[in-house]
Amino acid sequence: MIFNILITLISLILENIFNLYLNEFKYFTPLFTILSLIFVYPYFKNSKKDFFLFSFILGLVYDLFFTNFYVLNSILFLIISIVIYYILNKKDYSLRYIIVTCIVSILLYNLLLFLILNFFNYVNYSLLDFSYILKYFIIGNILYIVILYLILKNTYFKNKI
């Protein structure tokens, strides 16, 4: 469990650093905290209730650090963790499925956020703006997933999978 908390804390810190210092370099817009759920999944593989609770609490922490919507990201993290659980539970835990899960998670998070913010007229942006935003999220996050997977493949995953 300590390793999972460490992975999520590193993801939170890296996401904060990228948002603060590399915000002009738009191709690396991070969603590292959401994607850390993919890497904590093997620990919770046999206990989906604990995985969903962990993701909800992580969403609350994310709300405290990055947004002023104190329940919105918790619900979005929970929805994404459900998707992650059902994708990776049915497939093997290989790099290919992790990248697919990463892309689905990024698309789902941004789509749900886009729909919710436009529905409540909080931010009004078009589908063209939405597609423009998506291209900036995909590149850096897939790079982060691949690097983290290669680092953890021979140590952590060998024991959990």
- For each of the chain's 161 residues, which pLDDT tens digit applies? 788 888 889 988 888 887 777 666 655 678 889 999 998 988 887 888 999 999 999 999 988 888 777 788 999 999 999 999 999 888 778 888 899 999 999 989 988 988 888 888 777 777 777 777 777 778 888 888 998 888 887 766 555 55
How is 43-104 classified by DSSP, letter by letter? Answer: GGTT-HHHHHHHHHHHHHHHHHHH-S-TTHHHHHHHHHHHHHHHHHHHS---HHHHHHHHHH
Which residue is associated with the tokens 């994708």? Answer: 87
In this prediction, residue 49 carries a pLDDT of 92
Domain ranges of the chain: 2-160
In this prediction, residue 28 carries a pLDDT of 63
In this prediction, residue 69 carries a pLDDT of 75
Rounded CA gap, 57 and 136, in Å? 27
In this prediction, residue 42 carries a pLDDT of 85
